[in-house]
Amino acid sequence: MKAVIPSLFGDIRAAIIDLDGTMLDTAPDFHVAINRMRAELALAPLGIGSIKEFVGKGTENLIRRVLAVDFDEPAAERHFEPAMASYLDHYLAINGDYSSLYQDVVAGLDKLRSDGIRLACVTNKPLAFALPLLERTRLHGYFEVIYGGDSFARKKPDPMPLLQVFADFCVAPQQVVAIGDSSNDAQAARAAGCRVLNVPYGYNHGQPIQDVDSDGIVETLLQAAQLISAQHAAHQLSTATTP
């Protein structure tokens, strides 16, 4: 497990938290919707393990990777639009039906909020799916701002959504931590200049999370909140006692 560098988190004022694979295990929803789409195309169902490896870079990438299992690139592009339309219909119909909260997500969000940490959710999931899912799971109210994969011209791993959160909250990059399950979150944070923590569960495109360039791995969102709280207290004490 990659050790966390505590000194980086003493002045954190805001957290940008990913959705799929970080707060919610949504792979079962993807699994159902994708295989219903594949059935309409007369394609064999895929296992959930394969689908987890395709998650994280937005819906368009997800569907292209699913089609690439059966088709070469030109054929996949020919099937892309009907496949996307079918998937979106099926996903909207079951959004959240098969998803579940990861351990200590609510406790972590409660701790962050009680400590005065401002919260934003930045996901590559389209807002039309992200907002009702957050409402259904009663997470929506924790976040001052919520951005999806279609909120900007570019999505994670591009830093654009994170830079907007800095502007929304009027905070410096070093006062923000991004928390996510994949290299997308870490790359976006590095490019934006903020701190980044990864969780060891979720969907990192089938790659070990230990190989990601981050500031450490935390077991749960609650552990991240406790780390930030402890380091903030230490930072305050250090500041108060410095001549």
The residues annotated with a catalytic role in the active site are 18
CB 164 within 8 A of CB 147: yes
Report yes or no: 146 and 175 within 8 Å, Cβ to Cβ: no
Which pairs with CB-CB distance under 8 Å and at least 24 residues apart come from 223-226? 223/104, 223/108, 224/15, 224/108, 224/177, 224/179, 224/197, 224/199, 225/107, 225/108, 225/109, 225/111, 225/112, 225/115, 225/117, 226/111
Using CA atoms, how far apart are residues 197 and 189, in angstroms rounded to an integer?
9
At which residue do the structure tokens 């639009």 appear? Answer: 81
Phi, psi dihedrals of residue 205, rounded to the nearest 5°: 55, 30
Closest residue by Cα to residue 189 from 61, 49, 17, 69: 17
